[in-house]
Amino acid sequence: AVKPPIYQNLHLGLFEIGKPLGKGKFGRVYLARHRDSGYICALKVLNKDEISREAAETHVRREIEVHSNLRHPGVLGFYGWFHDSRRIFLILEYAAGGELYRVLQREGRFSERRAAKYVAQVTLSLLYLHGKNIMHRDMKPENILLGLHGELKLADFGYSVHAPSNRRDTLCGTLDYLPPEMIQSREVSYTKAVDQWTLGVLTYEFLTGQPPFEDTVALTRRRIVNRDMKPLPSFISSEAKDFVNSSFFITQLSYQDGHARAGESRSQVPIPQAASEYSTSGPDRDD
């Protein structure tokens, strides 16, 4: 027999569940409305069994720990969480514009003006996160949402950590957005330069519709380590080309020196010699 409502999940009973907004690794996200206030939100419902099966407890714990302490217009709102015997529920801001990668897929690529607006917004969100000594580490169009007025919102803090960090999380999913230091096998400590590199990858993808190092898995790895970016198409302005290139070289520099040397123009920045300068040695890590 169906249990009387009082015994069902008290918190869940506070919400009316609407259309599913998407499926992910450990669960789904639904449009939801808080009954008393009428407030519209996105309810991320994670399945505990699937989380345990993938040994992703730390991933989820970190997502809640980090995300619940953030409050910024360029970061998807996190309003709270609750759980029952089978599921974990995250109460998140509803981004009315949906996922940025769907917009990019639909439009092919963005104009330089629109790309510049998005890069500026992601930069402000990153400045906020880095100011709190947090690296996102998993920035990609799939994890960027659009608000009602087309403003960008960073989401999914499952891979975020406090800088610097030498965690060796298992990296899964695409390598396209990861900088050399995160895919080379040596034990390294990640700095915030990780997110700066990814901003360069995002800029390239906004302008062309493809990530700069996209290739077969093995060749993507080699391209990234050698900073062997696929050439930008001729329709890209020289200023945009310079911006994308600098984010890969300045990042390499700041990573090497362990501190940001922002503001240094390219002419003063020693540009690496041949690609051979970067060792591609060391056992490949395919976790």
Ligand X SMILES: Clc1ccc(CN2CCN(c3c(Br)cnc4[nH]c(-c5ccc(CN6CCOCC6)cc5)nc34)CC2)cc1
Which residue lies nearer to ligand X by CB, 27 or 212? 27
From the CB of 178, what's the least distance to ligand X, in Å?
19
Q: Of 285, 251, 124, give the one whose Cα is nearest residue 243.
A: 251
Q: DSSP string of 90-150?
A: EEE---TTEEHHHHHHHHSS--HHHHHHHHHHHHHHHHHHHHTTEE----SGGGEEE-TTS
What CA–CA distance (Å, rounded) separates 61 from 190? 20
From the CB of 60, what's the least distance to ligand X, in Å?
10
Active site residue 138: yes
Cα-based distances in Å from 2 to 83, 88, 103 = 20, 22, 42
From the CB of 95, what's the least distance to ligand X, in Å?
4
Which residue lies nearer to ligand X by CB, 145 or 199? 145
From the CB of 83, what's the least distance to ligand X, in Å?
14
Q: Name beta bridge partners: 135.
A: 161
What is the number of the residue whose Cβ is closest to ligand X?
24
From the CB of 140, what's the least distance to ligand X, in Å?
12
Which residue lies nearer to ligand X by CB, 100 or 244? 100
Read off the tokens for 133: 């000594």
From the CB of 25, what's the least distance to ligand X, in Å?
6
Residues of this chain that interact with ligand X (CB under 6 A) are 21-24, 26-29, 42, 44, 46, 92, 94-99, 145, 155
What CA–CA distance (Å, rounded) separates 174 from 115? 22
Which residue in 36, 138, 242, 286 is the catalytic one? 138
Which residue lies nearer to ligand X by CB, 98 or 173? 98
What CA–CA distance (Å, rounded) separates 151 from 148? 7
Which residue lies nearer to ligand X by CB, 32 or 194? 32
Which residue lies nearer to ligand X by CB, 73 or 233? 73
- Residues marked active site are found at 138
